[in-house]
Structure 1
Amino acid sequence: MTATLTGVDVAPPAAPAKRRRPVPGWLAVVPLLVFTAIAFGVPALAMLNGAFTVKDQATGASSYTTGNLTASLQGAYLTALTGSVKLSAVSAALGTLLGLPLAQAVVTSRSRAVREAVLTASGVLANFGGVPLAFAFVATLGNAGVLTVHLHLTDHGWDLYSFWGLVIVYLYFLIPLMVLTIAPALEGLRTQWREAAQNNGATGVQYWRHVALPVLAPSLLGGLVLLFGSAFAAYATAAAMVGSAVPLVTLQIADALSGNVLVGQENVALALSLDMVLVAGLVMAVYLPLQRRSARWLA
């Protein structure tokens, strides 16, 4: 206690309370990093290990070599890899060309209900694939499908179980995916740009050629790459529909793992998976910079 001039005892000031140290923000992402490491890291390491491992069938000894990667780029495996790249490229190009005008029609529609209905349906159809999609097309456009029989499509050379038949099936989910991808970019086109072009005497074609398409080019290329990756990774639809009629790398991987063609080719299947990962990595390396460039234009 201390005395003051007025004679009243006053307690000394209390010591300041210790401030708690703030919790680092990066701790919040630790669970996500752990999950990612377990769900993606462990399989990736197992794939890398198997892709470079050869097991002697006689002794059971394992050794590291690049023989599996060499085998994955030869013969039927190389044909399947190039077939997947060709199918994905053609499907992605057609999906981009058909999805852009459809997305433009949706974005410019005056009916909010129509716009929301189409975008919702696109979100559903973009994720509709696998065996149900294959069954739907087989029942509709297969050799004994409803439309095939009524329209006599086989007389005109139609074959669903072919390269172009598979392209049409892939477009069923690639076009809606393109609509979802390009719609935000189309909504970012400012009306002032069109008005300025019209005031300077530009036609609609000139506006799209010199203004809209250059601005949308990064988004269009990004959507094309995204569609390519989606088609490249598809498996169940092609497996249920064409089997081995169309050479695809995903089908070759399944055959090698199950031993349908040759026994003991599991590590070659892992090498094929590594080839797919490298192609997907190249796709993402192209896609991400395009998305960032498009975001700067349309922000």
Structure 2
Amino acid sequence: MTAALPKAGAVPVASMKRRRRAPGWLAVLPLLVFTALAFGLPALAMFNGAFTVKAQTTGATSYSLSNLTTSLHGAYLTALLGSVKLSAVSAAIAAVLGLSLAQAVVTSRFRALREAVLTASGVLANFGGVPLAFAFVATLGNSGVLTRHLGLAEHGWDLYSFWGLIIVYLYFLIPLMVLTITPALEGLRSHWREAARNNGATTLQYWRHVALPVLAPSLLGGLVLLFGSAFAAYATAAAMVGSSVPLVTLQIADAISGNVLVGQENVALALSLDMVLVAGLVMAMYLPLQRRSARWLA
């Protein structure tokens, strides 16, 4: 028997598939180039500077781990741990409160209320920086309106502290959690609740054994997003607390501007690299769970 020969002019299937995929790659190419220029080059510059040491006498540069070692000791380590603690606590509180608010919005029969809350959340989630700090200082500062009228200072209230900064962060973290978790709550199937009820499950048991396991990856994703937003926040903390609350973003700003020691710019890059590593570690734990959530809510 002789093998069947392709007809004249016939195009192999693999070649046709490659031709179909080629325009898709060409369409994505501008985005890849932009991403490489906007994110890749700064990342390479940060990595290079974090490992570069400049001699004070001769000005010669060399590669060393001294910048990273410095960034993990003394005041720099205290600031890094302070940022991690502040971000974790504020993200956890915002996740609980945001989930409760989002559940109330999703189950509400008033469409106008739902749209109003989601619209306000979209605005408040992007309200931060110096204007947010000024608003809280004027309201809850040492001479703030509510502080004087309610006598909060007599009860030990201090806005310029760790817990005061957490309250300020919750102002934009809770709306961000509402926007993040609302689509996941809407993805819960109504027949899941009905099946649990028919089998004698209470509302608490439904949430413990059905809803929360399904929502767990989305909740962790929201926690990651909230943690990253709080971890990278700078202007609000700088305008409010200055150096009274040790934060890594404030240490980076001081090192770049030379407020601590002259010539510490590369230490600031090492601190930035530490922040990237912390964020990467959190994302590495989140991505596998996000795939599981997408499978359940599809």
TM-score by structure 1 length? 0.91
Contact 1:225/1:286 (8 A) holds in 2: no
The residue aligned with 1:77 is: 76
Amino acid at match of 1:51: A
The residue aligned with 1:6 is: none
- Is 2:254 aligned against 1:243? no
- Is 2:32 aligned against 1:61? no
3-state SS, counterpart of residue 24 of structure 1: helix
Q: CA deviation at 1:200?
A: 1.5
Q: Any unmatched runs of 5+ in structure 1?
A: 1-15
1:10-89 pair list within 5 angstroms: 23-89=22-88
Amino acid at match of 1:125: L
3-state SS, counterpart of residue 173 of structure 1: helix
The residue aligned with 2:164 is: 165
Question: Would you say how many aligned residue pairs link Structure 1 and Structure 2?
Answer: 282
3-state SS, counterpart of residue 291 of structure 1: helix
TM-score by structure 2 length? 0.92
Q: Distance in 2 between matches of 1:290 and 1:201?
A: 29
Amino acid at match of 1:247: P
Q: CA deviation at 1:287?
A: 2.4
- Is 2:176 aligned against 1:177? yes
- Is 2:153 aligned against 1:118? no
3-state SS, counterpart of residue 29 of structure 1: helix
Q: CA deviation at 1:41?
A: 1.0
Cα root mean square deviation, aligned: 1.5
1:103-114 pair list within 5 angstroms: 103-114=102-113
- Is 2:261 aligned against 1:262? yes
Amino acid at match of 1:43: P
| Greater alpha carbon shift after TM alignment, 184-193 vs 63-72 | 184-193
Amino acid at match of 2:46: M
The residue aligned with 1:275 is: 274
Q: Distance in 1 between matches of 2:96 and 2:33?
A: 40
| Greater alpha carbon shift after TM alignment, 144-153 vs 279-288 | 279-288
3-state SS, counterpart of residue 134 of structure 1: helix
Q: Any unmatched runs of 5+ in structure 2?
A: 1-8, 10-15
Q: Distance in 1 between matches of 2:187 and 2:39?
A: 35
Q: CA deviation at 1:25?
A: 1.5
- Is 2:191 aligned against 1:192? yes
List, as ranges, runs of 4+ consecutive aligned residues in structure 1 with deviation greater than 6 Å: none
Q: CA deviation at 1:166?
A: 0.3
Q: CA deviation at 1:289?
A: 2.1
Q: CA deviation at 1:198?
A: 1.2
Q: Distance in 2 between matches of 1:254 and 1:170?
A: 20
1:198-237 pair list within 5 angstroms: 198-237=197-236
Amino acid at match of 2:201: A
Q: Distance in 2 between matches of 1:227 and 1:237?
A: 15
Q: Distance in 1 between matches of 2:125 and 2:153?
A: 29
The residue aligned with 1:294 is: 293
Amino acid at match of 1:142: G
Amino acid at match of 2:170: L
Q: CA deviation at 1:255?
A: 0.1
Q: Distance in 1 between matches of 2:171 and 2:286?
A: 22
User: How big is each residue's C-alpha offset from its partner over 1:172-195, in whole Å with a ceiling of 9 and x where there is no partner?
Assistant: 111111111111111111111111
Q: CA deviation at 1:209?
A: 1.3
3-state SS, counterpart of residue 53 of structure 2: strand
Q: CA deviation at 1:284?
A: 1.8
Amino acid at match of 1:158: W
Q: Distance in 2 between matches of 1:165 and 1:291?
A: 32
User: How big is each residue's C-alpha offset from its partner over 1:93-139, in whole Å with a ceiling of 9 and x where there is no partner?
Assistant: 10111111100000001111111111111111111111111011001
Q: Distance in 1 between matches of 2:272 and 2:97?
A: 31
User: How big is each residue's C-alpha offset from its partner over 1:178-226, in whole Å with a ceiling of 9 and x where there is no partner?
Assistant: 1111111111111111111111111111111111111111111121121
